[in-house]
Amino acid sequence: MEKAAILFHLGPLAISSIVVTTWGIMAFLGLFSWLATRHLSTDPGPLQAMLEGSISAIEAAIKAVLPQGGEKVLPFIATLWFYIVTANLVGLIPGLGSPTAHLSVTTGLALLVFLSVHWFGIRNEGLIAYLRHYLSPSPILLPFHIISELTRTVALAVRLFGNMMSLEMAALLLLLVAGLLVPIPLLMLHIIEALVQAYIFGMLALIYVAGAMQSRTEINHEKERSET
């Protein structure tokens, strides 16, 4: 995967095409949200029904994993899903590339997930109680907990990056080798893969956050298991 092109400089910051694409996605999502939610009513039209259905489905998925306090993480998790789906699908538009096919983007998202896990965990459980779960069930496992935190974050970043990058590269190779229309089935697979990868990334982020927010409950369960 070639390096993203630098389109312009904003002071000392070199603005790449990835960042511009992300701004475009932000503008699209923000404008769409503003336009779609201007005239909401209790008697919804088709667009409002679609929006309510999507957000209700996300809310139900979060509640299934995190029965209490799900409303706190809904904006973060739902934005992950919406952004990653849009970013994945943007690559289908000729001339544009998926931001998620770049390691800088997926690493940034994975770092946000990593930080949000601790943020929500400390907010929900308190600092001491949250940090104590790293010593559970035994302090010997502390290094393994830390390694687990780091590796799963790296895995998040690399999984999304690798899948999206490989799909784009495979489509490019097919286009070069076989001709103009041959990559179309692969593009269909791209759509499915875009949805699946967004779901996996958001779901894993939700599970990590939920695990941090329910760390005290997990400790209690482990104690009960050890006693029995």
Partner 1 sequence: MDLDWTTFILEIVNFLVLVWILKRFLYRPVLEVIARRRTQIEEALSEARDTRQQADTLKEQFEGRLAGWETEREAAHAKLLEEVAIERQHLMAAVAKAMDEEKAKRKAIVERQQQDWLRTAAEQGVAQGQAFASRLLERLAGPELEAGLFGLLLQDLAQLPEQQRKDLAAAAGREARLDVLSAYPLAAEQRNELTAALQAVLGRELPAGFGEQPDLVAGFLITVGPWVMHANLRDELRFFGE
Binder of partner 1 out of 65, 103, 195, 207 (CB under 8 A): 103
Contacts for 226 with CB less than 8 Å, ≥ 6 apart: 137
Binding mask 22-41 for partner 1 (x = CB under 8 A): xx-xx--xx--xx-xx--xx
Binder of partner 1 out of 66, 89, 98, 102 (CB under 8 A): 102
CB of 30 to partner 1, least distance (A): 4
CA atoms of 47 and 53, how far apart (whole Å): 10
Comparison of 75 and 95: residue with beta carbon closer to partner 1: 75
User: DSSP per residue over 83-110, as a string?
Assistant: HHHHHHHHTTSTT---GGGSHHHHHHHH
Amino acid at 4: A
CB of 60 to partner 1, least distance (A): 12
Binder of partner 1 out of 68, 79, 217, 220 (CB under 8 A): 79
Scan for tokens 């779960």, then name that residue.
133
Backbone angles phi, psi at 14, to 5 degrees: -90, 115
Mapping DSSP onto H, E and C, the string for 18-33 reads: HHHHHHHHHHHHHHHH
Give yes or no for a cis peptide into 183 (omega within 30° of 0).
Answer: no
Binder of partner 1 out of 5, 7, 52, 143 (CB under 8 A): 52
Residue 215 interacting with partner 1 (CB under 8 A):
no
**Piece in contact with partner 1 (CB under 8 A), picked from 53-61, 141-149, 172-180, 213-221:** 53-61
Comparison of 30 and 67: residue with beta carbon closer to partner 1: 30
Nearest to 63 by CA among 48, 46, 78: 78
Show the tokens assigned to 169.
């590269």
Binder of partner 1 out of 62, 70, 82, 98 (CB under 8 A): 82
CA atoms of 188 and 57, how far apart (whole Å): 24
Rounded to the nearest angstrom, the gap between the alpha carbon of residue 159 and the centroid of all alpha carbons in its chain is 11
Residue 51 interacting with partner 1 (CB under 8 A):
yes
Residue 18 interacting with partner 1 (CB under 8 A):
yes
CB of 37 to partner 1, least distance (A): 4
Provide the binding-site residues for partner 1, judged by CB under 8 A: 1, 3-4, 13-16, 18-19, 22-23, 25-26, 29-30, 33-34, 36-37, 40-42, 44, 48, 51-52, 55-56, 59, 74-76, 78-79, 82-83, 99, 102-105, 107-109, 111-112
